[in-house]
Amino acid sequence: MSTAELSAVGKPARLSNPIAVDIVKMNKWYGDFHVLRDIDLRVKGGERIVICGPSGSGKSTMIRCINRLEEHQSGRIVVDGVELANDLKKIDEVRREVGMVFQHFNLFPHLTVLENCALAPIWVRKMPKKQAEEIALHYLTRVKIPNQANKYPGQLSGGQQQRVAIARALCMSPKIMLFDEPTSALDPEMVKEVLDTMVSLAKDGMTMLCVTHEMGFAREVADRIVFMDEGQIVEMNEPEQFFTNPQHQRTKLFLSQILR
């Protein structure tokens, strides 16, 4: 691969629609329990959204609906022009374009770091092995751990594992990245290296939805903060307004709890 191609790989893939994610009147139940209630959220291409709220408020469930790790029961979710329904083809199509980073990394422990990253390009994008490995190395370099490529995930620190997970998602050149509490399972000393990676991604113009409690990160990169409670979106605002001038009672309480 030429350097020009590689640097093209570095930029987030173009969305085919101005609206990256469109969630309309979406509802979800776990059995009798109404986890997500009338969710309306429209995310523009290139927008960075931070979702916060108390535990059990449905934040993770919501972003997991966007790549159909969870199924919604009513309403619409349209991801870059593709509506998520029971059509498996559409689901696969969305998953190819949406990268996800999990709280517990979910790396494949039986594969090396390089294999973890090259796996999806090879098997999903049908890329030749050599090219997939080049791309994998490119992104591993980007998250600053190219020299760990031949180790197994279990041999890395938590922060390194999470950066591998980010690289793994990036190898599919996603148009949208979902982060589900990416720093919650990390030792305090490792939070920064992961956040730095996310900040640099944001600076490249990646469309991002992050569930996180890192308010410093939210302030720095978010275009909008979505606050959820009891399965509903309670308040949504730009970071400055959100932190200095919260409107809803629940938001005020939440902020007073976490910002001491």
Partner 1 sequence: MTMAEGELAISELHFVRDQHLPPLAPPARMTGAVGWIRENLLSTPVNIAMTVVVLLLTVWIVWGLLDFLILDAVWTGADREACLMSTQHREIGACWPFVWERLPYFTYGSYPIPERWRVDVFFALLAIGVGWMLWLQAPRRDLGALYFFVVLPILSYILLHGFAAIGLPVVDTVLWGGVLVTIVVATVGIVVSLPIGILLALGRRSRMPTVRFFATLFIEFVRGVPLITVLFMASVMLPLFVPQQFEPDKLLRALVGIAMFASAYMAEVVRAGLQAIPKGQYEGAMAVGLSYSPMMRLIVLPQALRITIPNIVNTYIGLFKDTTLVTIIGIFDLLHTIEVARIDPKWATPVTSATGYTVAAIFYLIFCYGMSRYARATEARLQKGAKR
Site of interaction with partner 1 (CB under 8 A): 67, 69, 88, 92, 95-96, 98-100, 102, 104-110, 119-120, 123-124, 152-155, 168-169, 172
With tokens 């309306």, the residue in question is: 40
Closest distance between partner 1 and the C-beta of residue 116, in Å? 9
Query: CA nearest 252: which of 237, 212, 47?
Result: 237
For partner 1, the closer CB: 112 or 237 = 112
CB 203 within 8 A of CB 175: no
Which residue, among 135, 45, 31, has the nearest Cα to 81 in the 3D structure?
45
Please say which residue, 159 or 246, places its beta carbon nearer to partner 1.
Answer: 159
CB of 234 to partner 1, least distance (A): 27
Q: How far apart are CA 201 and CA 175, in angstroms?
A: 12
Please, which residue, 110 or 248, has the CB nearer to partner 1? 110
> Quick one: 119 or 236, whose CB is closer to partner 1?
119
User: CB 226 → partner 1: shortest distance, Å?
Assistant: 21
How far apart are the C-alpha atoms of 238 and 50, rounded to whole Å? 10
Q: How far is the CB of 219 from partner 1 (least distance, A)?
A: 28
In the complex, the smallest distance separating the C-beta of residue 16 from partner 1, rounded to whole angstroms, is: 17
182 or 239: CB nearest partner 1: 182
Burial status of residue 20 (CB atoms within 10 A of its CB: 0-12, 13-18, 19 or more): buried
- Exposure of 58 by Cβ count < 10 A (0-12 exposed, 13-18 middle, 19+ buried)? buried
Are 199 and 205 in contact by the 8 Å Cβ rule? The answer is: no
Minimum distance from residue 175 beta carbon to partner 1 (Å): 13
Sheet architecture: strand order including 19-30: 33-44, 19-30, 74-79, 82-83
- Of 89 and 260, the one with the shorter C-beta distance to partner 1 is 89
Residue 1 in contact with residue 130, Cβ under 8 Å?
no
